[in-house]
Chain A
Amino acid sequence: MRTIADINDKINRHCVVVWTIEELKARVVEAGVTQAATEVDVVTTGTFEPMESSGAILNLGHTDPPIKIRQCWLDGVPAYSGFGAVDLYLGATQVAESSDGEEMRERGGGYVIQDLIAGKPVHLRAVGQVTDCYPRASFETTITRDTINQFYLFNPRNLYQNFIVGVNGGDRPLFTYLGPLQPRLGNAVYSNPGAIAPLFNDPDLNLIGIGTRIFLGGGIGYVAWEGTQHFPLQKRLPNRTPIGPAATLALIGDAKQMDARWVRGCYFKSYGPSLMLGVGIPLPVLNEEVVARCAVQDQDLVAPIVDFSIPRRVRPIFGLVSYAQLKSGRIGIDGKSVRVAPLASIYLSRQVAIELKQWIEAGKFLLSEPVAPIPANQTFLSQDAWGSQIAID
Chain B
Amino acid sequence: MKKRVTLTFPKRSVQMPVTYRLAKDFNVAANIIRAQVAPNQIGKLVLELSGDIDQLDAAIDWMRSQDIGVSFSNREILIDEEICVHCGLCTGVCPTEALSLDPQTFKLVFTRSRCIVCEQCIPTCPVQAISTNL
Contact A269 B123 (CB under 8 A): yes
Known A266-B127, A268-B126, A346-B106; contact A187-B93, beta-carbon cutoff 8 A = yes
Contact A346 B126 (CB under 8 A): no
- The residue on A at minimum CB distance from B94 is A339
Q: Nearest Cβ distance between residue B98 and chain A, in whole angstroms?
A: 13
Q: Nearest Cβ distance between residue A176 and chain B, in whole angstroms?
A: 11
CB-CB contacts of B62-95 with A at 8 A, as 1s and 0s?
0000000000000000000000011111111100
Contact A264 B127 (CB under 8 A): yes
Asked whether any CB of chain A lies closer than 8 Å to the CB of B128, the reply is yes
Known A187-B93, A329-B101, A346-B106; contact A341-B88, beta-carbon cutoff 8 A = yes
Contact B124 A345 (CB under 8 A): no
Asked whether any CB of chain A lies closer than 8 Å to the CB of B100, the reply is yes
Asked whether any CB of chain B lies closer than 8 Å to the CB of A340, the reply is yes
Known A180-B124, A267-B128, A276-B127; contact A343-B91, beta-carbon cutoff 8 A = no
Contact A344 B93 (CB under 8 A): no
Give chain B residues whose Cβ lies under 8 Å from the Cβ of A266.
126-127
Q: Nearest Cβ distance between residue B111 and chain A, in whole angstroms?
A: 14
Contact B89 A341 (CB under 8 A): yes
| Main secondary structure on A side of the interface with B | strand
Contact A179 B89 (CB under 8 A): yes
| Main secondary structure on B side of the interface with A | loop
Number of B residues contacting the other chain (C-beta, 8 Å)?
21
B108-134 at interface with A (beta carbon < 8 Å): 123-124, 126-128
Give chain A residues whose Cβ lies under 8 Å from the Cβ of B87.
49, 276, 342-345
Contact A329 B85 (CB under 8 A): no
A179 to B124, CA, bound (A): 6
A334-364 at interface with B (beta carbon < 8 Å): 339-348, 350
- The residue on B at minimum CB distance from A188 is B92
Give chain B residues whose Cβ lies under 8 Å from the Cβ of A346.
86, 88, 101, 106
- The residue on A at minimum CB distance from B106 is A346
Asked whether any CB of chain B lies closer than 8 Å to the CB of A322, the reply is no
Asked whether any CB of chain B lies closer than 8 Å to the CB of A182, the reply is yes
Which of A269, A329, A348 meets B86, CB within 8 Å?
A348
Asked whether any CB of chain A lies closer than 8 Å to the CB of B21, the reply is no
Nearest 8 CB-CB pairings of A with B? A341-B92, A346-B106, A266-B126, A187-B92, A347-B86, A269-B123, A345-B87, A347-B106
- In the complex, given contacts A189-B92, A265-B127, A341-B101, what are 8 additional A-B residue pairs having Cβ atoms less than 8 angstroms apart? A182-B93, A266-B127, A276-B85, A340-B92, A342-B101, A345-B86, A346-B86, A347-B86
Chain A residues within CB distance 8 Å of chain B:
48-50, 179-180, 182, 186-189, 264-269, 274, 276, 329, 339-348, 350
Q: Give 13 A-B contacts (CB < 8 Å), ordered by A residue.
A: A180-B93, A182-B93, A188-B92, A266-B127, A267-B126, A276-B126, A341-B88, A341-B91, A341-B92, A341-B93, A342-B89, A343-B87, A345-B86
